[in-house]
A and B are shown apart, each in its own frame.
Chain A
């Protein structure tokens, strides 16, 4: 009971005081307002934002350069994150939708394409890019600091809760806010009898010649398993991939962490019966036994009636003895474990350790929707290790996704510790539609972090506040996280999402083109949710199955587009306008000045577009050519309804002499 209260108090102190001045005196004793642990892409990305907002920060890195993970992994040195440098577009924001390696910055040229032009670049280029990023932005990175222990300081000082980091030399670093971007280094292992006979992905030889004519069993069916298989495909005699779940193809699931086509050559050799194959089965109850070569068997077959396992293998210990067509009956020359990685929890003292998350089966820390450790206030997890929030659904575990969530966390920090509201732009309601279209047509954050980051539009009557890329799962805490209030007019949330009913990805009917059926779109498409009040945590918890947000008051799907260009007047713009009209309870049509003239003289309150444009002397005049179109469409009164424009030429002269208005003079030509 005391614990949450303490946290609350700590928050209160921080919010009220920010970081007291005397903080900075401690710099000599290695105190920083912000410590970033790890100089990988997430750490450096956060470093950039902290540096831009001129915060007291340090990035601590145990190795001698940034991004050292990429000096080793992926073992076969090909990055599978897309580096598409030609998009046919000049829009930098749009181009980031197809650049999965660059970090965000305000330098238009600080892009990954400067170091590699390859679609699937060599892994060595990534640390080079990161070094460039550190250098050009002047980020403060301290290399060679290997933090072995982290504990919380529940001190009585006005700083409130902080974190103390101890390095390999026993030196302390104290931080008010700790940003953990350590990545995932610990190989995931499974214990079974004979697991010590298994080689790990992290240490296997890379030369294919060493696998010549060998039968290889690979445990795992992810990208590292397939990458390994692919590299030895031309040398090994037989490659079997074994794991509990069937392979999931990224092009079917839209999840970039699933098997990418760039690695999947083995699927061909499997399906064309060229001696390779995939097998499903549990990992915990297998056993590997050496009898010259390696045999795969089942733990229960090794059990003896007397209860002790003998080291000697008999025929009856092997499945083929019981099952003559057992798939994996032939022995292997090598067994390789490719089961991925897990977060290193061991450096955290109990006081500072975030719980492990259930969805990831304990491999990743459990986090709040704004990436703060559950129960570790002031400790945030960034980068790959923050993937428990969108595990196996969005891109939060990957550079092209977490560069945006890092920005979101930074905005949370700015609000919480420095009272800087989440950046927003004020728009008049008549501009909202084109602004939304602009975002859906170029924004890269909601595009990469689909279903996770969304733009929030706070409706305020005749104007609105537009906030970009808020973590939508944190909507119940919106006001405290962003500093903005929700008015009685409610709010809109704009996100992009894939279809909810995945069907045959390449089959007929995979795409929807009729806008009235937009909610059945299968590909990434924009969706707007309208709430009259902020959804509560309970609403969010009970949201419809498969939905990213609770049931709103109204929802609008913009139909998926083959070219991801949502700018069609009939299929995209008008349905969006009608949705906005519904949410704002007003007519949002645009009118020419002439129509506004009529409405202004015959209505005490003309339509919004006229009020926000024409009546502010900023109406849209158009020309006779356009009016003609509008008249033919029956949207403006036709010429015949007006008196003939046969003008008495003597009239203006007379009036000008008499001192007519400013504008009557320009009408002389009429």
Chain B
């Protein structure tokens, strides 16, 4: 039978000349030939019979072709037979056709495989080799089975125990390929997990996908048959290279002894890309040092090569304070010297992930990721710093600004009616970003023909005395100096508009003291108002029945504090009663005027301190239905109310809708039913950042205008007014009630980000610990190996002297020999002779 099969199957893989090869592959498409002698000679071959091609099959054939290359190395041929051309009885018939591949040896079918099992090149190679090596590789499942293998091997051969959770994966292939080469030398054992692994010290066998252990049975005595052989685990991924290296290491002597500097040592480990650990041995402790080295070497076996260096050798020049050194694989790697106190430290050093990681990276030449990570460290991730940095090519035109120096500061400040001073430092990006706005302010003031105001700068990096004297503790700081008045610090937005407005308004005396009803009328809607309407559409008037009212001075003080923020007038006269009656309020009172056509609001005044009054006025200045902008948002967020926020768009077709929506909101506001909320709106044209806000709220851009309730300061929930409903008073009210009643589902929730550092910091301590172990460690009080620095130096000095061979300086005649660079006797090293 077998003879017949072989007669019709032609596996000629060692002889290309006779084959029709496809795609330069070594898979042989069967054609008629008569080389069946080769098959009879016992050649092993892996053959697939097929008669048609579908996508699955073509994938398999592709893998099959790839495996031909790999299996050729093991003397195994791969072929496929096209049953439509060469009909081979038995194999070209039956249901299983197309789904089976067969392994033949010497004409016999060793095993048949489902194409699902041998799905790719790794699976083909591993399964084929596993079958071929059936006798050499023992499969075990239980601990007892393993013990039996161990008993048999003791005193004869070492065991290589491989574990793979699933057959047919690259790890399995690597193991089988190794077994093919080393099968004669070692007893190979394969397990697919479970109890055997527990014997190897694996706590959770299911978490381990693959592993390999070397069981040192050869050196173990047969008599101790119950004792398991000592084992060493491969601590790297299962690849042929790693396994090969590992097996070489197992063969290498545990400890090598050398009489040269660590950098000169040549051992097999250097070629195997394994770190080397050097221990220095003193002549009087050699025996002890050997024991230590052996102990350490067996603990680090497979990971590190250990070399014992004899210090007495004249070629060894390592300073005596070091008792160990290590060298990572790679030609460029330098020897790093250390002082170690105990064995655990050494073991930790190499078990330390970092050292191993470095090693793995070098192995796999996969340092790109790491480099990328550190490269990002040099990219500025602060938008202000980066934008200023990108602008470094531009020179700021500071001509319009006066640069003040320590000599000129006081005289310049005294000489100007309004001296505005910006205190800055060059290395502060915020200062330099603001400097651009400051220059813009100076230009716009010049354009507006503002003559009695001077803009100046003080570089606190240079004129540190001025900045100290002015008690500048934050950068940038803008101060307005007027003669005979305490300087006023600008606390508004650090931008061109905010500062311009502040400066323009600051020129108005605050408060404006009004002496007659005509002036009051003019203040509220006349010329005075007109002048400043562009910068301050709102003004405040304090009304008192008499100048004797104590409130007058409080208001004056408050007005002074509000200078630059708004215009404040004061009218203290019996005639003030007129306005009190008009706006039905008791005196003293304040009137807030929003321009000739705007509403006039009246507030009674009964606050005692200027600060309270300032807060009160600031609150009165707020709009009841504001358009939120980047500049004014903080004023409104201070109210801590949920925002009933209308987003309006800029498209032509939306305009009418927008207007209507705003009107509806306004009338809703007038109904007084929105008190718990802050009704407000954002115009996405003027405030484009609002778009990002809206998207963040709802996850996407809704139809505009869109009404949203944002419970920013309470639960952080966002509710979206149904897009289909009309933006009208009643439906809105109804919706708000639903929300309050908990009957609406939030459209989103605002997070409470912790704003952790955006990038981890560069941990210098970790780098020190890695590059120079011990350098950054606290000294332990007991160890003698890390004495004080002074002693270190002494040691180093002694050593230096030792190198020059003048350890014994006694002259036989009994005389000392003071010489250049030689000392009479070891002197107290730091006998300092001069201060």
Contact = CB atoms under 8 A, between A and B. Distances in A.
Task: Tell whether A and B belong to one assembly.
Answer: yes
B427 A573 contact: yes
A334 interface: no
B697 interface: yes
A626 B464 CA distance: 28
A569 B385 contact: yes
Contact of B712 (A258, A277, A601): A601
B526 interface: no
Interface in B760-799: 760-765, 767-768, 775-781, 786, 788-789, 792
A575 interface: yes
Contacts of A626: 384, 387-388, 391, 433, 436
Contact of A603 (B385, B753, B761, B786): B753
Interface stretch (A121-129, A407-415, A589-597): A589-597
Contacts of A547: 776
Nearest to A551: B778
A16 interface: no
A663 B751 contact: no
A265 interface: no
B475 interface: yes
A434 B382 CA distance: 14
Interface string A245-280: 110000000000111000000000000000001111
A326 B633 CA distance: 89
A554 B763 contact: yes
Contacts of B386: 629-630, 633, 635
Given A575-B762, A627-B387, A621 B493 contact: yes
B696 interface: yes
Contact of A646 (B594, B685, B751): B685
Interface string B818-835: 111111110111111111
Contacts of A441: 427, 461
B619 interface: no
Contacts of B497: 621, 666
Interface string B604-633: 000000000000000001110111011111
Contacts of B768: 519
Contacts of B536: 662
A285 B816 contact: yes
Contact of A91 (B462, B763, B765, B781): B462
A45 B687 CA distance: 60
A604 B814 contact: no
B436 A625 contact: yes
Given A605-B752, A607-B755, A667-B686, A600 B633 contact: yes
Contacts of B390: 629, 632-633
A220 B834 contact: yes
B716 interface: yes
Interface in B651-681: 655, 658-659, 662, 666
Interface in B125-150: none
A648 B834 contact: no
Interface in B413-469: 425-431, 433-434, 436-437, 440, 460-465
Given A556-B764, A623-B496, A225 B834 contact: yes
A319 B756 CA distance: 74
A614 to B, nearest CB: 6
B759 to A, nearest CB: 6
Nearest to A301: B815
Interface string A337-351: 011110000000000
A360 B824 CA distance: 22
Interface stretch (A166-174, A504-512, A636-644): A636-644
Contacts of B764: 518-519, 554-557
Which label, helix, strand, loop or mixed, suits the secondary structure of the B interface? loop
Interface stretch (A131-139, A424-432, A451-459): A424-432
Given A434-B427, A545-B788, A108 B779 contact: no
Interface string A653-670: 011111111111111001
Contacts of B686: 645, 647, 667, 670
A311 interface: no
B691 interface: yes
Nearest to B499: A621
Nearest to A227: B834
A581 interface: yes
A603 B762 contact: no
B496 A277 contact: no
Given A434-B428, A554-B763, A621-B495, A603 B824 contact: no
Interface-central residue, B433, B492, B625, B777, by most chain A CB under 10 Å: B433
A581 B754 CA distance: 12
A597 B630 contact: yes
Contacts of B788: 545
Interface stretch (B229-237, B275-283, B373-381): B373-381
Interface in A353-379: 360-361
Nearest to A642: B688
B691 A245 contact: no
Nearest to A442: B464
A585 B756 contact: yes
B270 interface: no
A387 interface: yes
B225 interface: no
A426 B817 contact: no
Given A301-B814, A585-B756, A618 B492 contact: yes
A312 interface: no
Contacts of B264: none
A651 B816 contact: no
A570 interface: yes
A257 B498 CA distance: 57
B40 interface: no
Interface in A422-446: 425-428, 431, 434-435, 437-438, 441-442
B649 interface: yes
A350 to B, nearest CB: 27
Contacts of B437: 621-623
A633 B387 contact: yes
Given A625-B391, A659-B598, A659-B599, A590 B779 contact: no
A582 interface: yes
A572 B389 CA distance: 13
A585 B788 CA distance: 35
Contact of B627 (A281, A636, A660): A660
B666 A620 contact: no
Nearest to A241: B833
A322 interface: yes
Interface stretch (A57-65, A489-497, A536-544): A536-544
A667 B464 contact: no
B818 A242 contact: yes
B816 A300 contact: yes
A397 B685 contact: no
A587 interface: yes
Contact of B765 (A551, A573, A608): A551
Nearest to A588: B757
A292 interface: no
A338 B689 CA distance: 76
Interface of B: 374, 377-378, 380-391, 405-406, 425-431, 433-434, 436-437, 440, 460-465, 473-475, 491-498, 501, 534-538, 566, 594-595, 597-599, 621-623, 625-627, 629-635, 637, 643, 649-650, 655, 658-659, 662, 666, 683-689, 691-693, 696-697, 710, 712-713, 716, 750-765, 767-768, 775-781, 786, 788-789, 792, 811, 813-825, 827-835
Given A434-B425, A603-B752, A618-B491, 9 more contacts: A222-B835, A298-B816, A339-B833, A554-B763, A605-B752, A615-B634, A619-B631, A621-B498, A642-B688
18 contacts: A277-B820, A278-B820, A387-B835, A427-B473, A437-B425, A519-B768, A542-B781, A590-B385, A597-B687, A597-B689, A617-B635, A619-B630, A623-B437, A626-B433, A643-B684, A645-B686, A648-B655, A662-B623
Q: What 6 A-B pairs are tightest by C-beta distance, nearest first? A: A222-B834, A621-B495, A642-B688, A281-B818, A567-B427, A581-B757
